[in-house]
């Protein structure tokens, strides 16, 4: 024992001397520098938020270069693996790869949508074909496909969890649908098509933004007849921001242009503003998207043909709930006829009102919103002026959070000192009912020139467990009008619904509970992804929400019961118009992508011919015309119908709570969490819905919700 103790002491003393030498050497050596590029460094901000203040446009080019090189090396190692394919060394390895690239790309593409500039746009144009080439090379890598195909053939004999089997089967299908079985010449053409499509889609989006940024209507005090105070204030603020103090400016931000069309008594100005709004993407030679969109459609058709499909729509729908263009047309047609009938009745009512006020003209598209607002006021005594004072942005956010707390047990704590990419962005820490960290939620609510129009949800980081517990960082981006300094921002009822809608998407990302990133959160089929968002809108109008959160911003009094009743009675007002406006866009999208003819088309003529065949009312214009239809030139190609498909489910799903007699019924909410919000794409979407509802969805709920039932 003594000898052992002596040896131990000697070893300890030697260890101490060695440690001292190492410490001295380290102290004399130059300090190791942190990476100069913050995108490549480890992020030390709370919960891994990007260090936005340190990130500059110049950092992205080198960061992308490093990240792409690293990902290519990872793919090469997987492809060159000598051992027989296993789930771990192939599928698991693929799921773990590309972490740095995902990190860099998530920051870049979120900024390019929400807070862009000319430098970022130049990088976006440069990176679009490079990223497409990189992704295509992986999807068409013969060695990778051979390994995945081997596993797929043996899937029944492998000891896989349900989630692993789902990921394997999906990845095999993704590779097939990307062209993995094509010959070398065909693969080369696919690579060319993908790169060209990426460049064209980027240019398309940037052109729309340029048109939105470049157009403005400068008004004098004498031009403001009919405009409510809130719109006057936001127009004055927009003018001041442009150096036009004392003037008023209407922009092509939806929060500016739509209320102007609703309230302006100046028909000539409404016409001017409306025409600018519908001509985004075709205002000038440099930003004209008509040729770009025609080429995109032609390239997609060629790609689908290479894979053996009659049309791009047939290709796109194969892996959705809808499955075929025919089933989509059936759904759209089932709603179109009652919507056209309703819109005709609405038009007659608006025409009568215009004549009663001395308007000796036929109702035109720029008149519809104006007279509809008057008709709503006359029939239901409801207008934006009566509802806005009760819908402050802060209260609507609080209502969305409280709903998530009651349904899913979530808690939200604002982090005022957290990094952010713009001073208007707000950050919240999200925890569950046990206090466990769930993720971070960012809210970017106000319109600005550096942000594209619309509203969306995205992720700076998606949830997964394949390489340790990764919590999500989710962002909602909107374009509301900002209140005066020191005054609350007041929302319209549509704005409030938009906030609830996007927060429903946000919850889909936050509540995700899967292992593999490829099936995390909103990585589901397009005609399922809108279910969690559209369903969440229902909770805005439940009595408990309105009683607590719809309170007057000055008096603190809740929205009067009579006003709530009038709002609910007016819920289906103008639904013929709203439904036609949407359906026309969905039909045009489907027909564009269902074309079996080859070659480019005249998109203007195609749009007119399609609407003519439909019997489109001349007083209504598509919600999104082709030259600015960002949805279908991006990720929703042949998929704009999905809002209606999901609406069938959301109306039917909320009925489950109504049948339970409680909008916050605990057992139903638990099933909703388990089968819809947390499951990602780990399960077939129809199976997931049936697991929640007990049966497939029924369309009667949709027709009732829109007031179109006979």
Q: Which fold has domain 389-569+642-705?
A: 1.10.1370
CA angle 337, 340, 344 (to 5 degrees): 145
Residue 634 pLDDT exceeds 90: no
Would you state the pLDDT for residue 35? 64
Residue 29 pLDDT exceeds 90: no
Hey, how many other C-beta atoms are within 10 angstroms of the C-beta on 10? 10
Closest CA to 290 of 637, 621, 589, 601: 601
> Token pair for residue 37?
């590029």
Would you state the pLDDT for residue 708? 79
Give every CB contact of residue 197 below 8 A, 6+ residues apart in sequence. 132, 296, 299, 300
Query: Can you tell me which residue has the tokens 């590309």?
Result: 98
Q: Model confidence over 654-667: pLDDT tens digits?
A: 999 999 999 999 99
Q: Are strands 437-446 and 426-431 parallel, antiparallel or unpaired?
A: antiparallel
* Burial class for 68, CB neighbours closer than 10 Å (0-12, 13-18, 19+): buried
Closest CA to 490 of 248, 127, 674, 229: 229
Query: Can you tell me which residue has the tokens 């349904």?
Result: 407
* Burial class for 391, CB neighbours closer than 10 Å (0-12, 13-18, 19+): buried
Spans of all domains in the chain: 46-139+141-181, 215-278, 290-382+576-633, 389-569+642-705
Q: How far is CA 609 from CA 169, 297, 592, 597, 625, in A?
A: 41, 17, 11, 16, 13
Query: Can you tell me which residue has the tokens 């440099």?
Result: 286
Would you state the pLDDT for residue 598? 76
Q: Residue 403 and residue 506: Cα distance in Å, rounded?
A: 13
Q: Model confidence over 171-190: pLDDT tens digits?
A: 999 999 999 999 999 999 99
Q: How far is CA 350 from CA 278, 378, 379, 571, 581, in A?
A: 22, 11, 12, 18, 17
Give every CB contact of residue 213 below 8 A, 6+ residues apart in sequence. 449
Q: Model confidence over 531-579: pLDDT tens digits?
A: 999 999 999 999 999 999 999 999 999 999 999 999 999 999 999 999 9
Rounded to 10 deg, the angle between the 575-594 and 603-614 helix axes is: 130
| Average pLDDT rounded to a whole number, residues 90-110 | 98
Closest CA to 40 of 61, 26, 23, 19: 61
Report the 3 state secondary structure along 6-53.
Answer: HHHHHHHHHHHHHHHHHHHHHHHCCCCCCCCCCCCCCCCCHHHCCCHH
Q: Model confidence over 569-628: pLDDT tens digits?
A: 999 999 999 999 999 999 999 999 999 887 779 999 999 999 999 999 999 999 999 999
Give the confidence band of 710 by pLDDT, cuts at 50, 70, 90: low
- Asked if residues 653 and 535 have their Cβ atoms less than 8 Å apart, the reply is yes
Q: How many CA atoms lie within 13 A of 563 on its CB side?
A: 19
Q: Model confidence over 119-169: pLDDT tens digits?
A: 999 999 999 999 999 999 999 999 999 999 999 999 999 999 999 999 999
Would you state the pLDDT for residue 428? 98
Q: How far is CA 205 from CA 113, 121, 131, 180, 479, in A?
A: 9, 10, 17, 29, 17
Q: Residue 299 and residue 302: Cα distance in Å, rounded?
A: 5
Q: Are strands 473-480 and 437-446 parallel, antiparallel or unpaired?
A: parallel
Residue 382 pLDDT exceeds 80: yes
Residue 401 pLDDT exceeds 80: yes
Percentage, residues of the chain above pLDDT 70: 95
Q: What are the two backbone dihedrals, phi and then psi, of residue 416, each rounded to the nearest 5 degrees?
A: -65, -20
- Asked if residues 389 and 574 have their Cβ atoms less than 8 Å apart, the reply is no
| Average pLDDT rounded to a whole number, residues 695-707 | 82
290-382+576-633 domain in CATH 1.10.3210.10?
no
Give the confidence band of 14 by pLDDT, cuts at 50, 70, 90: very low
- Asked if residues 591 and 555 have their Cβ atoms less than 8 Å apart, the reply is no
Q: Residue 295 and residue 705: Cα distance in Å, rounded?
A: 38
- Residues acting as catalytic residues: 502
685's enclosing H/E stretch is: helix 685-693
> Token pair for residue 331?
């759904």
- Asked if residues 179 and 140 have their Cβ atoms less than 8 Å apart, the reply is yes
Would you state the pLDDT for residue 34? 57
- Asked if residues 620 and 578 have their Cβ atoms less than 8 Å apart, the reply is no
Q: Residue 559 and residue 382: Cα distance in Å, rounded?
A: 12
Q: Is the pTM of this model over 0.75?
A: yes
Would you state the pLDDT for residue 250? 97
Calculate the average pLDDT of the chain. Answer: 93
Give the confidence band of 376 by pLDDT, cuts at 50, 70, 90: very high
Would you state the pLDDT for residue 21? 46
Residue 367 pLDDT exceeds 70: yes
Q: What are the two backbone dihedrals, phi and then psi, of residue 452, each rounded to the nearest 5 degrees?
A: -70, 160
369's enclosing H/E stretch is: helix 365-380
Residue 24 pLDDT exceeds 80: no
CATH number, domain 46-139+141-181 = 1.20.1050.40
First-residue to last-residue Cα distance in the chain: 96
Rounded to 10 deg, the angle between the 393-408 and 493-510 helix axes is: 40
**Helical ranges in 80-157 per DSSP H:** 93-96, 99-114, 118-139, 142-153
Q: Residue 76 and residue 80: Cα distance in Å, rounded?
A: 6
Would you state the pLDDT for residue 16? 44
Closest CA to 291 of 656, 633, 689: 633
46-139+141-181 against 290-382+576-633: fold identical: no
Query: Longest Cα pair distance anywhere in the chain, in angstroms?
Result: 114
Q: What are the two backbone dihedrals, phi and then psi, of residue 702, each rounded to the nearest 5 degrees?
A: -65, -50
| Average pLDDT rounded to a whole number, residues 629-652 | 93
């Amino acid at each position: 024992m003594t000898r052992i103790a002596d040896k131990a002491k000697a070893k300890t003393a030697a260890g101490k001397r060695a440690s001292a030498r190492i410490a001295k050497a380290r102290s004399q050596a130059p300090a190791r520098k942190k990476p100069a590029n913050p995108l490549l460094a480890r992020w030390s901000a709370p919960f891994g938020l990007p260090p936005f203040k340190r990130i500059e446009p110049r950092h992205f080019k080198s960061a992308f270069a490093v990240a792409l090189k690293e990902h290519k090396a990872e793919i090469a190692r997987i492809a060159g693996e000598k051992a027989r394919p296993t789930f771990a060394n192939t599928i698991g390895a693929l799921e773990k790869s590309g972490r740095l690239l995902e990190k860099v790309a998530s920051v870049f593409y979120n900024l390019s949508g929400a807070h862009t500039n000319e430098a970022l746009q130049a990088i976006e144009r440069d990176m679009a074909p490079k990223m497409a080439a990189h992704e295509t090379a992986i999807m068409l890598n013969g060695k990778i496909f051979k390994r995945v195909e081997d596993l797929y053939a043996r899937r029944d004999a492998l000891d896989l969890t349900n989630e692993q089997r789902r990921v394997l089967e999906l990845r095999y299908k993704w590779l097939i649908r990307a062209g993995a079985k094509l010959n070398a010449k065909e693969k080369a053409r696919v690579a060319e098509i993908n790169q060209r499509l990426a460049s064209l889609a980027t240019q398309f989006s940037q052109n729309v933004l340029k048109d939105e940024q470049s157009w403005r209507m400068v008004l004098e005090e004498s031009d403001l007849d009919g405009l409510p105070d809130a719109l006057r204030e936001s127009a004055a603020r927009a003018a001041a921001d442009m150096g036009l103090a004392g003037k008023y400016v209407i922009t092509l931000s939806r929060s500016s242009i739509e209320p102007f069309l609703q309230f302006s008594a100046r028909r000539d100005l409404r016409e001017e503003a409306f025409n600018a709004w519908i001509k985004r993407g075709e205002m000038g030679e440099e930003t004209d998207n008509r040729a770009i969109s025609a080429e995109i459609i032609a390239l997609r058709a060629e790609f689908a043909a290479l894979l053996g499909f009659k049309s791009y729509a047939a290709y796109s729908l194969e892996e959705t709930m809808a499955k075929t263009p025919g089933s989509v047309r059936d759904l759209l047609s089932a709603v179109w006829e009652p919507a056209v009938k309703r819109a005709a009745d609405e038009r007659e009512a608006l025409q009568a009102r215009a004549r009663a006020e001395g308007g000796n003209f036929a109702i035109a598209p720029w008149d519809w919103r104006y007279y509809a607002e008057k008709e709503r006021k006359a029939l239901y005594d409801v207008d934006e002026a009566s509802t806005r004072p009760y819908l402050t942005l802060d209260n609507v956010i609080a209502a969305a959070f409280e709903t998530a707390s009651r349904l899913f047990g979530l808690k939200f704590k604002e982090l005022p000192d957290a990094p952010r990419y713009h001073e208007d962005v707000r950050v919240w820490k999200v925890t569950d009912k046990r206090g466990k960290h769930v993720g971070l939620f960012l809210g970017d609510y106000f319109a600005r020139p550096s942000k594209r129009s619309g509203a969306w949800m995205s992720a700076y980081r998606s949830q997964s467990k394949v390489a340790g517990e990764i919590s999500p960082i989710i962002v909602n981006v909107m374009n509301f009008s900002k209140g005066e300094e020191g005054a609350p921002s007041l929302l319209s009822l549509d704005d409030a619904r938009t906030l609830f809608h996007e927060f429903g998407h946000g919850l889909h990302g936050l509540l995700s509970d899967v292992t593999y990133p490829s099936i995390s959160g909103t990585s589901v089929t397009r005609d399922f992804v809108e279910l969690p968002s559209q369903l969440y809108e229902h909770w805005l109008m439940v009595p408990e929400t309105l009683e607590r959160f719809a309170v007057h911003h000055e008096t603190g009094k809740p929205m009067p019961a009579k006003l709530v009743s009038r709002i609910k009675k007016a819920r289906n007002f103008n639904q013929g118009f709203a439904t036609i406006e949407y359906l026309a866009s969905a039909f045009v999208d489907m027909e564009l992508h269902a074309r079996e003819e080859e070659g480019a088309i005249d998109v203007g003529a195609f749009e007119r011919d399609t609407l003519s065949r439909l019997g489109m009312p001349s007083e209504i214009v598509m919600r999104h015309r082709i030259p600015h239809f960002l949805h279908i030139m991006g990720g929703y190609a042949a998929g704009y119908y999905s809002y209606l498909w999901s609406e069938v489910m959301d109306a039917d799903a909320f009925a489950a709570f109504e049948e339970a007699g409680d909008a916050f019924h605990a057992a139903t909410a638990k099933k909703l969490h388990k089968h819809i919000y947390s499951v990602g794409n780990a399960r077939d979407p129809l199976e997931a819905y049936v697991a929640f509802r007990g049966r497939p969805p029924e369309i009667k709920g949709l027709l009732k919700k829109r007031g179109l039932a006979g």
